[in-house]
Amino acid sequence: MISIDIEKSLNSHNHLSVLQITQEIPVGSITKIYGPSGAGKTTLIKVIAGLTRPEKGRIRFNDITWLDTENGIFVSPQQRKVGLVFQQYALFPNMTVLQHLRYATNDETWIKQLLTIGKLEAFAQQKPEYLSGGQQQRLAILRAMATKPQLLLMDEPFSALDPEMKTELINDLQYLWKELATTVLVVSHNPLELEGIFQQEILIKSPVAGA
Partner 1 sequence: MDLSPVILTLKLAAITTVLLLLIGLPVAWWLSKSKSILKLIIEAIITMPLVLPPSVLGFYLLLAFSPQHGIGKWLRDVFDVQLVFSFPGLILASVIYSLPFMIGPIKSALQQLPPSLAQASYTLGKSERQTFMHVLLPNIRASVLTAATLTFVHTLGEFGVVLMIGGNIPGVTRVASIAVYDAVENQDYSSANAYSLILFGITFITVISVFVFNKYKAKSPLE
Contact residues: partner 1, CB under 8 A = 46, 49-51, 76-78, 80-84, 86, 88, 90-94, 103-104, 143-144, 146-147
Closer to partner 1 by CB, 145 or 169: give it: 145
Q: Residue 83, by phi and psi: left (phi above 0), alpha (psi -120 to 50) or beta?
A: beta
**C-beta of 86: minimal distance to partner 1 in Å?**
5
Closer to partner 1 by CB, 20 or 87: give it: 87
Closer to partner 1 by CB, 180 or 197: give it: 180
How far is the C-alpha of 40 from the C-alpha of 34, rounded, in Å? 10
H, E, C per residue of 121-142: HHHCCCCHHHCCHHHHHHHHHH
Closer to partner 1 by CB, 107 or 201: give it: 107
CA atoms within 13 A on the CB side of 96: 10
Closer to partner 1 by CB, 92 or 175: give it: 92
Of the candidates 14, 21, 108, 103, the one whose C-alpha atom is nearest the C-alpha of residue 56 is 21
Beta bridge partners of 209: 17
**C-beta of 170: minimal distance to partner 1 in Å?**
21
**C-beta of 90: minimal distance to partner 1 in Å?**
4
**C-beta of 113: minimal distance to partner 1 in Å?**
18
Cα dist from 93 to 87, 97, 126, 179, whole Å: 16, 10, 10, 31
**C-beta of 92: minimal distance to partner 1 in Å?**
5
Cα dist from 57 to 54, 74, 153, 169, whole Å: 7, 11, 19, 35
